[in-house]
């Protein structure tokens, strides 16, 4: 395997993440490279610890880190073979880290972007515009002020009555659901000349999955 380096960020290093949390981020990156093979990822983590002293300034070693992973629900005993396997919590954390890795590197450009469309319709997002009520509209969205005003204009105060044509409701924004498919090229070109292009592709796929699950379900 190869190692990737980035510019040292002094402010990030001062943030209150525990030592195990920092090791977890490295471990999750290794899981991406090993396609979820816990045994291989732990072996690489051990090699990195020997070479770079990851636990040198810690009061605990990798054995304590593995125990912590099990206590926190990131690892569980494998059902069909010896060793460990990742849990749903681990998968979610990897997706979250992938999403954060991509979006924390963004720079200020064109503002906006909320995945909305220009068609009005049914949803929980109420707009400021109003329209005439029609059969099937939720009366919880009724504009009481305009509705009563319409009735007064039509019948006057002495003969006040409320008719269907008087009712106005707030319009709502139409939000749609969609299925998203991301295909990853796994041909030889993805590892051509010894460059790993598959892991970044998997990172993007996991980040997209987390974005859809949390922001656009």
The mean pLDDT of the chain is 80
The structural domains of the chain, with segments of one domain joined by +, span 10-110+197-214, 126-172
Write down the number of H helices and E strands in the chain: 7, 4
pTM, two decimal places = 0.52
Give how far Cα 2 sits from Cα of 31, 101, 105, Å.
14, 19, 22
Q: Could you read off the pLDDT of 188-203 as tens digits, one per residue?
A: 888 888 888 888 888 8
- Residue 102 neighbours by CB distance under 10 Å: 17
Q: Are 169 and 133 in contact (CB under 8 A)?
A: yes
Say whether pLDDT at 31 is over 80: yes
Per the CB < 8 A criterion, the answer to whether 185 and 73 are in contact is no
With beta carbons less than 8 A apart as the criterion, state whether 93 and 78 touch.
no
Contact 41, 34 (CB under 8 A): yes
Q: Cα(14)–Cα(22) distance, rounded to whole angstroms?
A: 12
Which H helix or E strand runs over 89?
Answer: helix 88-103
Q: Tell me the C-alpha distance between 214 and 217, whole Å.
A: 6
Tens digit of pLDDT for each residue in 79-114?
777 789 999 999 999 988 888 877 766 555 544 444
């Amino acid at each position: 395997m190869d190692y990737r380096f980035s510019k040292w960020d002094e402010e990030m290093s001062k943030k209150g993440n525990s030592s195990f949390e920092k090791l977890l981020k490295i471990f999750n990156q290794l899981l991406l490279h090993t396609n979820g093979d816990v045994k291989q990822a732990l072996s690489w983590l051990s090699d990195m610890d020997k070479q770079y002293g990851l636990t040198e300034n810690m009061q605990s070693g990798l054995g304590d880190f593995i125990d912590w992973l099990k206590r926190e629900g990131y690892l569980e005993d494998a059902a069909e073979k010896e060793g460990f396997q990742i849990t749903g919590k681990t998968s979610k954390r990897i997706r979250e880290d992938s999403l954060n890795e991509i979006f924390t590197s963004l720079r200020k450009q064109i503002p906006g972007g909320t995945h909305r469309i220009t068609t009005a319709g049914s949803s929980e997002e109420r707009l400021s515009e109003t329209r005439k009520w029609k059969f099937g509209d939720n009366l919880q969205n009724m504009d009481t002020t305009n509705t009563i005003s319409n009735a007064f204009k039509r019948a006057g105060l002495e003969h006040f009555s409320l008719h269907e044509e008087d009712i106005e409701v707030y319009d709502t924004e139409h939000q749609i659901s969609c299925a998203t498919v991301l295909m990853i090229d796994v041909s030889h070109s993805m590892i051509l000349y010894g460059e790993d292009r598959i892991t970044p592709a998997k990172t993007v796929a996991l980040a997209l999955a987390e974005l859809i699950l949390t922001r656009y379900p």
